[in-house]
Amino acid sequence: MSWDLVIRSGRVVDGTGMKSFTADVAVKDGRIARVGRVNESALREIDADGCWVTPGFIDVHTHYDVQLDWDPLATPSSWHGVTTALAGNCGFTLAPAKPEDVGWLAGMLSRVEGMSRAALNEGLRFKGGSFGDYWSRFDGKLGINVGSFVGHCAVRRWVMGDDASEREATPAEIEAMQQLVRESMQQGAMGFSTSQIEVHVGEDGREVPSNHASSEEIVALASVLAEFNRGSVEIIPHSFAQGYDESDRQLLKDIYRVSGRPIELNILVPNPHHPMGWRATLDFCNEAFEEGIRLHPMFTTNQLELHLKLSDTFVFDEMLAWREALTRPEPERSNALRDPAMRARMRAEFDDPASRAISFEWKGLEVEAVADPSHASWIGRTVPQLAEARGIDPLDAFLDISLEENLETRWQTRLDEVARQFIHHVVATSVVDPIVMPGSSDGGAHLASFVGADYTTRLLTEWVPEPLTLEHAVWRNTLMPATVHGIENRGVLREGAFADILVMDPDRLAVGKVRLVKDFPADTERYVVDAEGYVASIVNGQLLLENGQHSGALPGQVLRGG
Ligand SMILES: [Zn+2]
């Protein structure tokens, strides 16, 4: 027997959670052919002595839908060991789309997921069509494997046109939407995604289509999955920050009742106005599991600091006056931000804890970078410090400074020690809970605000060996997401499975620097985070990355359920 690839003498962590062991792993025709002793030689050999050998990581919460058009490696996720990603989360897909709606959907995606509109205009190649049309474009052109949910907003826009952003659907419209979800599932969708949070506002300043759906509509669309007996539902209900109100709890139970499919919930995170909302979420999901209802809340291990500029941020969109001002084109946007009456409304909203789910206080916001070098002295100073120096109120200081630089001043949130410790406590609690899914990277999204693609590496470097064993942490990054999302024959190192394999040097494994780079279409910027210690990343039996360098191969597949 001759093998295509043999990885020799590594510590095999097979993804099941079983205790690791030393073995060789042989690959033939894109599959794992042997785990054990391999005496024969191979076309290619990797010496893994002293290294961990694991299944490739699976990130189920990304928005790489568009980025793949110019970055088939889905960076920086692939640098952090991800060999399979699910796109199309939160209800925001570009397909199905009528040709005349592609621009509108791209504008929505740009706003809610923080992708530069200029980059999308230049980089997006899709001209409209079905879910299957969108993804068949990528056959043979991907570095990693990618599957996608079909998104509620696209489905709603197709059926209801502009009314999708205005009102509830009629029974006939709901039926037409069910048919579109059905066709998308037939074309390989990995499930159905939706969200109902107020911060999601399109370019036109209106809440996104899925926010206008009744519970009946959401349940009806999820019920289509039962016809296929596969796929999952990904949802962020509107009251997620508080741990779900009664009607959202009923909605989640009803989705499970009609679909029988696992439900993925974003995200377990402490919120200053609902500090224990994450705990309520965790308790509710565990109680639901006791009743047999599969609810998987998601946690993230990456830092929760945000970067923002008033020229393009979404983080204030749940406050109506802020939204009204910040979704206007220039120069009306700047004029609105100067207007004292508008400022009074904005101040009232900012000071009202009930109006914000994503929030921070002025003292936690500081200047990260200035557009005009003569303002360099502002860097590192918080909003209250800058306000005091000017003898004005913090909101006025924040807006005045931004306006002095055409809204291009870059701000950064900073967590204080108490907040840091609290977040540590939240993650420490979540990371050991059997139902909780790691993730929330939002890879491909919020490019100028934060980067969460390093969670896979952080799970192994910051939470192993305590409180997690290596084997358990690898299971969380591999077979757990594969199982919940029906990603077959991946996430595990066993004979016959697809050969998605990582070789890692535990002594070097680390999260590297967060960097701002300008490598996107239209010369736009994004944050990336480097990784160290990934010796080899193998996708479908082919070497994709060797010590972080791309081999040139594009062995990834479009995953199609069923
Ligand atoms: Zn998302």
Sheet holding 82-87, edge to edge: 57-59, 82-87, 145-148
Residue 470 backbone phi and psi in degrees, to 5: -55, -45
Q: What angle do CA 139, 298, 464 make, to 5 degrees?
A: 95
List all residues 6 or more positions away from 411 whose beta carbon is below 8 Å from its beta carbon. 307, 308, 309, 365, 366, 367, 368, 398
Distance 233 CA to ligand 1 centre (A): 13
What's the rounded Cα separation, in Å, for the pair 339 and 179?
48
Residue with tokens 């290294």: 51
Distance 192 CA to ligand 1 centre (A): 13
Distance 88 CA to ligand 1 centre (A): 8
What's the rounded Cα separation, in Å, for the pair 556 and 64?
14
Distance 404 CA to ligand 1 centre (A): 32
Q: What angle do CA 317, 318, 321 make, to 5 degrees?
A: 70
- The reported pLDDT for the residue numbered 478 is 98
* Structure letter (DSSP) for residue 554: -
Distance 338 CA to ligand 1 centre (A): 32
- The reported pLDDT for the residue numbered 138 is 98
- The reported pLDDT for the residue numbered 357 is 64
Distance 444 CA to ligand 1 centre (A): 9
What's the rounded Cα separation, in Å, for the pair 532 and 504?
9
- The reported pLDDT for the residue numbered 301 is 83
Give the fold, CATH level 3, of 3-56+501-550.
Urease, subunit C; domain 1 (2.30.40)
Distance 442 CA to ligand 1 centre (A): 5
- The reported pLDDT for the residue numbered 1 is 65
Distance 62 CA to ligand 1 centre (A): 6
β pairing state of 510-520 and 150-151: unpaired
- The reported pLDDT for the residue numbered 358 is 65
Segments in the chain below pLDDT 50: none
CATH 3.20.20.140-classified regions of the chain: 57-304+417-484
Distance 385 CA to ligand 1 centre (A): 34
Distance 153 CA to ligand 1 centre (A): 13
What residue type is 214 in one-letter code? S
Distance 240 CA to ligand 1 centre (A): 13
Q: Write out pLDDT tens, residues 176-232.
A: 999 999 999 999 999 999 999 888 888 888 999 999 999 999 999 999 999 999 999
The end-to-end CA distance of the chain, in Å, is 32
Distance 197 CA to ligand 1 centre (A): 11
Check whether domain 57-304+417-484 has CATH 3.20.20.140, yes or no: yes
Distance 275 CA to ligand 1 centre (A): 21
- The reported pLDDT for the residue numbered 205 is 85
CATH 2.30.40.10-classified regions of the chain: 3-56+501-550
Beta bridge partners of 297: 265
Distance 115 CA to ligand 1 centre (A): 12
What's the rounded Cα separation, in Å, for the pair 464 and 474?
10
